[in-house]
Amino acid sequence: MPKVPSAVVAAGGIVGGYGVARWTKKRQLGGAVLAVAGAAAARQWRERAGGKAAGALTAAYVAAFAGSHPLAKKVGAWPAVFGVAGAVALASWAVADRNA
C-alpha cells in the first residue's frame, strides 16, 4: 500500500487540527489531531530525509501552528491556517517527498 506523502500528512494535521478544535469547541481534541499528524509526518521525514531534516521540519510544523495565531488576526482564521499548512507542505515536499 503506498504511503500518503508527508506533505499531505503535515498539512492535513494543521488543517484538521484547527477544524476539529473549531467544530467540536474542544481545543484539546484539535491539539490531539495536530500532535498525531505531526508525529506521523515526523516519522516519515526521519525515514526519508534523516534526523536533522526531520528535526527542522518538525520545528517548522510547530512554528507554523504558533505563527497561524497572530496571522489569523490579520487575514482571518481559515486563510491563516491554509497559508501555514501550505508552507509546511511545500517545505515537506522539498525536503522529504520530492525524491521519495
- Phi and psi at 46, nearest 5°, equal -65, -45
pLDDT tens-digit readout, 5-32: 999 999 999 999 999 999 999 999 999 9
Whether 82 and 15 have beta carbons less than 8 Å apart is answered as yes
Which cell numbers in the block locate residue 19?
A: 477544524
- Phi and psi at 5, nearest 5°, equal -55, 145
What is the radius of gyration, based on Cα positions, of the chain? 13
Return the pLDDT at 56. Answer: 97
Residue type, 11: A
Which cell numbers in the block locate residue 55?
A: 528535526
Which cell numbers in the block locate residue 45?
A: 521525514
Q: Rounded to two decimals, what is the model's pTM?
A: 0.93
